[in-house]
Structure 1
Amino acid sequence: MLTLEHVGICAKDTVKLKDWYVKVFDFKIVYDNKKEMPTFFLLMEDQSMIEIYPAENPTDQGNNKDQGIRHLAFGTDNIEKEYQNLQNHQVEIIEELKTNPKGVSTVFFRDIEGNILHFIQRPEPLYK
């Protein structure tokens, strides 16, 4: 069986980005290699992780339609609560909370380094 163990985010400032994810989402730090520019693993409630590691070649932020992996989607069963949390932390919202005709709700936002993230709440799973 394959699972998604972690997603890596290459960061300009690993400490600041780690602090942002911990503050906004309450992720738990489970690894810190304690180097000058450290690598961190942050644990989510579902036991998946985000790795934050140092960039060697910083680039400008892209948009959601550029080629390649462009966003991370976090599923939730209370998108209104998560949206309020984003607002409480003055997170940059790039697409406001909306619900499509099928009842799927989304909100797109950026972390402090410009990475695109979004919350999604589905009335029914895509699979059974």
Structure 2
Amino acid sequence: MKLKKIHHIAIICSNYEVSKDFYVRILGLTPLQEVYREDRDSYKLDLKVNGQYQIELFSFPNPPARPSYPEASGLRHLAFEVDDIEEAVLHLTTMQVEVEGIRIDPWTQKKFTFFADPDGLPIELYEC
């Protein structure tokens, strides 16, 4: 077996409209397709990152909270590459998103920081 690339990342949110606004308006992801699945009382929004389909945003009635602190087993965070981390942090703080301080990766010497989506999912910005 040879894996070619990550096809997509699925995110389940607790409040579809709030999360849709966050990922589309604040993060600037482009909606590709939105479907309401009546049998599951669930929305599925396909989002593009920089022109490529990469994220599926799902809603389900009453999903359990995501264990995060202390960190739980499983997927730790979602990371996005940016060209200018200071510009990205300024944009997020202007949109009232709380962002951690910018740090330097001790191995690559690259800048990175974290913030959270409306459900507390950790999101990393990594300057390349």
Length-normalised TM-score, structure 2: 0.82
**Aligned-residue offset at 1:63:** 3.0
Alignment of 1:70-85 (within 5 A): 70-85=76-91
Structure 1: how far apart are the matches of 2:9 and 2:69? 19
Q: State the percentage of identical aligned residues.
A: 25
Aligned to 2:50: 45
How well do the aligned residues superpose, as a CA RMSD in angstroms? 2.0
1:99 counterpart residue number: 104
Q: What amino acid sits opposite 2:25 in the alignment?
A: K
1:34 alignment partner in structure 2: 36
Which residues of structure 1 form unaligned runs of 5+?
A: 123-128
Residue of structure 1 in register with 2:122 after alignment: 116
Q: How far apart are residue 46 of structure 1 and its match? A: 5.1
Distance (whole Å) between structure 2 residues aligned to residue 47 and residue 103 of structure 1: 28
Structure 1 residue runs of 4 or more that deviate by more than 6 Å after TM superposition: none
Count of residue pairs the alignment pairs up: 121
Structure 2 runs not aligned, ≥5 long:
none
Which residue of 1 is the match for residue 10 of structure 2?
8
> How far 1:60 sits from its partner (Å)?
4.7
Q: Describe the SS at the equivalent of 1:30.
A: strand
Alpha-carbon distance between aligned partners in 1 of 2:34 and 2:110, rounded to the nearest angstrom: 36
Letter in 1 for 2:55: I
Q: Report the residue type matching 1:55 in the other structure.
A: F
